[in-house]
Amino acid sequence: MEIAVLASGSKGNALYLASGKTSFLIDAGLSAREIEKRLSLLNRTAASLSAILVSHEHADHIRGVGPLARRYNLPVYITEKTYVAAEGALKHLPHVEYIDPDTPFEIGAFWFSPFLVSHDAVEPLGFSLTDGTLKVGIATDLGVITQLVRENMRGSHIAIVEFNHDPDMLMDGPYPWDLKQRIKGRRGHLSNPTAAKFVETIFHRDLERVVLAHLSETNNTPEMALRCLMEKGPCRVAAEQVVVARPDRPVQVL
């Protein structure tokens, strides 16, 4: 399996996965041109993609979905509620495949199990997926860890988890009070300490990588997120197993 985070953060999110002849994006929150550029840095092309999956309708997750789907005739896998909420931004799509939360589905070499997360979108999803050899769990853009999230992330060989903000930086930072409250609320984003404790609960001996995702450029730093994971877990994950996703360039995970 190949995994690369093309972008992660408040300005845009896109995750590339491939196994065998199947490759796809989960979200495409950059412009189509920028997605193509970042794929090219990995010696990959958008023309070879099998599909795009959409986690929720926020602009930093769907900006490039419509242009890429139309340009390369790609199917877009999305819940019906999310499609209705995003239709104005997505415009015409050549091929829409509706998916349901908690209902598994298949794309090529991959088997997906979507699950609901707590975020201020109409029907936001996390994903657990496998190609039959490795399990990948993706839990980003969520304000609280529910039992449903734990169950779906448990047993992941690759865990992609939101480490959005440091609580002190958020509260002392420049954001208006209502935005601070939204971010730290149950339908907002995970703090470093909450995410670190969550990673500890899903740790197992076959966990190969932990990806720290969706770091705020204003309210966090890669160093703070990594230190929180390594020191406050207390986490058994070794430093060489941790990958910090970036907003400005692709990061290879596997």
Band of the pLDDT at 106, cuts 50, 70, 90?
very high
Residue 254 inside a domain? The answer is no
In this prediction, residue 102 carries a pLDDT of 87
**Percent above pLDDT 90 for the chain:** 95
Any idea which residue has 């954001």 for tokens?
A: 175
Any idea which residue has 């092309």 for tokens?
A: 45
Lowest mean pLDDT among 3-7, 11-15, 201-205, 243-247: 201-205
Domain that holds residue 15: 2-249
SS3 category, 13: coil
With a cut of 70, say whether residue 234 has pLDDT above it: no
In this prediction, residue 37 carries a pLDDT of 98
In this prediction, residue 233 carries a pLDDT of 55
Residue 121 inside a domain? The answer is yes
In this prediction, residue 237 carries a pLDDT of 82
CATH number assigned to the domain comprising residue 207? 3.60.15.10
Mean pLDDT of the chain: 96
Cα within 13 Å of Cα(129), Cβ side: 27
CA-to-CA distance for 232 and 150, rounded, in angstroms? 19
Structural domain total, the chain: 1
Instruction: Sort 120 into a burial class: Cβ within 10 Å, 0-12 / 13-18 / 19+.
Output: middle
- Tens of pLDDT, residue by residue over 42-101, are 999 999 999 999 999 999 999 999 999 999 999 999 999 999 999 999 999 999 999 999
- Quote the DSSP letter at residue 248: S
